[in-house]
Amino acid sequence: MRSTREELPVARRLSRPSKRRELPIAPVVLSTALALGGGLAALFLFQEQLQQRFWGPPPVAGISARPDFQGRLLGHFPYGEVKASNLVDLAPGLQLDSEAATAFEEMRSAAAADGVQLRVISAFRPIAMQKEIFFGVKSERNQSAEERARVSAPPGYSEHSTGLAMDLGDDSLPQTNLSESFEGTPAFYWLQNNAHRFHYQLSFAKGNRQGVSYEPWHWRYEGSAQALQQFEAAHRFNQSRGPF
């Protein structure tokens, strides 16, 4: 019987085994050190952020709660205040971001053509005004911050401060203003079916993951890159299915 070696081709039997290629030690050590150093830097940065969020002073005076890992305070995402130069008048005492206002006027005209009269109840609110609303009503109703936050955002966490959100009502049924009963009005029905055409979206739907009370009257504009960036975190959070 022929051996296994004899079954191999002559060329392979005569060839010398190739030497194993060894990687140079220095680059490997250097890359490992850099990766470890970057990881440590990221760890220290994360620790610093944790300290600021959970052990530093609360972000809102008068509220002991601190933001969670998504940046939410009592369910609400943080929002800055729009520049005054970006605001235009909708009506006396009512202002909105210029792009959002243009889109709203088009939406209001389209609704009127269908026999629906949209009424703007509230639009841009400076952070100082939001502070008065949040703490003033909280005190009047003897509410905790958690209870108050279910129906009103803490200062610095309201979509109204961006100049891109508004509270709407039905001009023919003013008794439904700022009430869940607004969902039964022609105005709400029209908005549900048409607001997206003008880049407006309901902010706090029933059972929203943020834990904010259902607000059929509260709509926000998402028709610009700046607006999309403002609400990207809220979008991502509300569309996810995880526990947090």
- CA dist., res. 230 & res. 78, Å (int): 9
Q: How many CA atoms lie within 13 A of 34 on its CB side?
A: 6
Is 92 among the domain residues? yes
- Looking at residue 138, its pLDDT comes to 87
Count the domains in the chain: 1
Tokens coding 44: 């220290």
Residue 96, beta-bridge partner list: 88
What is the residue-averaged pLDDT of the chain? 83
Q: Which of 14-28, 76-90, 187-201 has the lowest mean pLDDT?
A: 14-28
Residue 52 and residue 72: Cα distance in Å, rounded? Answer: 14
Q: Is residue 89 part of a domain?
A: yes
pLDDT at 49 > cutoff 50 = yes
Helix, strand and coil in the chain, % to nearest 5 = 50, 10, 40
Residue 8 in domain: no
Q: What is the pLDDT of residue 196?
A: 98
Banded model confidence at residue 240, pLDDT cuts 50, 70, 90 = confident
Q: Which domain holds residue 222?
A: 84-239
What is the pLDDT averaged over residues 221-242?
A: 90
- Is position 36 within any domain? no
Q: What confidence score (pLDDT) does residue 6 get?
A: 38
Which tops the pLDDT comparison, 137 or 119?
119
Does 173 reside within a domain?
yes
Is 93 part of a structural domain of the chain? yes
Alpha-carbon distances, residue 220 vs 1, 6, 14, 80 (angstroms): 86, 81, 78, 15
> What pTM did the predictor assign?
0.75
Smallest CA-to-CA distance from 90 within 75, 80, 100 is with 100
For 120, the token pair is: 């703007």
Tens digits of residue pLDDT in 126-159: 999 999 999 998 888 888 999 998 989 999 999 9
Residue 207 in tokens: 């059972």
**Residue 186 falls within a domain, yes or no?**
yes
- What CATH number does residue 225 fall under? 3.30.1380.10
- Virtual CA dihedral for 72, 75, 76, 78, nearest 10 degrees? -10
Structural domain contains residue 48: no
pLDDT in tens, 80-116: 999 999 999 999 999 999 999 999 999 999 999 999 9
Contact 71, 77 (CB under 8 A): yes
Structural contact between residues 160 and 130, judged by C-beta atoms closer than 8 angstroms:
yes
The span from the CA of 31 to the CA of 34, in Å, is 5
